[in-house]
Copies of this chain bind each other. A is one copy, B any other.
Amino acid sequence: MAASARRYKDEVFEQFARIGKAVGSPRRLELLDLLCQGPRTVEVLADRAGLSLANASQHLQVLRAARLVEAEKSGPFVTYRLADGVEGFYLGLRRLAEERLAEVHAASRAFLEERGAMESVDATELLQRAVAGGVTVLDVRPPEEYRAGHLPGARSVPLSELRARLREIPRDRDVVAYCRGPYCVLAVEAVRLLREEGFAAHRLESGPPEWRRAGVVLESGR
- Residues of B near A97 (CB, < 8 A) are 15-16, 18-19
Chain B residue, CB-CB nearest to A5: B185
- Residues of B near A185 (CB, < 8 A) are 5, 8-9
- Residues of B near A9 (CB, < 8 A) are 30, 183, 185
Quick one: copies of this chain in the complex? 2
Query: Distance (Å) between the CB of A31 and the closest chain B CB?
Result: 10
Chain B residue, CB-CB nearest to A26: B13
Q: What separation, in Å, do the CA atoms of A29 and B96 have in the docked complex?
A: 16
The winner among A9, A84, A104 for most chain B CB atoms within 10 A is A9
User: A101 interface residue, CB < 8 Å from B?
Assistant: yes
Q: A20 touching B24 by the CB < 8 A rule?
A: yes
With A15-B101, A92-B92, A96-B86 in contact, is A189–B5 under 8 Å at CB? yes
User: A107 interface residue, CB < 8 Å from B?
Assistant: yes
User: A44 interface residue, CB < 8 Å from B?
Assistant: no
With A50-B6, A85-B100, A103-B15 in contact, is A93–B20 under 8 Å at CB? yes
Q: What separation, in Å, do the CA atoms of A96 and B24 have in the docked complex?
A: 16
With A100-B83, A108-B12 in contact, is A17–B4 under 8 Å at CB? no
Q: What separation, in Å, do the CA atoms of A96 and B93 have in the docked complex?
A: 12
User: A10 interface residue, CB < 8 Å from B?
Assistant: yes
- Residues of B near A77 (CB, < 8 A) are none
User: A59 interface residue, CB < 8 Å from B?
Assistant: no
With A67-B101, A107-B8, A183-B9 in contact, is A16–B26 under 8 Å at CB? yes
Instruction: Give residues of chain A (94-126) contacting chain B, Cβ–Cβ below 8 Å.
Output: 94-97, 99-101, 103-104, 107-108, 110-111, 114-115
Query: Distance (Å) between the CB of A176 and the closest chain B CB?
Result: 20
User: A177 interface residue, CB < 8 Å from B?
Assistant: no
Query: Distance (Å) between the CB of A160 and the closest chain B CB?
Result: 12
Q: What separation, in Å, do the CA atoms of A86 and B95 have in the docked complex?
A: 11
A residues with a Cβ closer than 8 A to B are: 1, 4-6, 8-27, 29-30, 33, 50, 66-68, 83-86, 88-89, 92-97, 99-101, 103-104, 107-108, 110-111, 114-115, 183, 185, 188-189
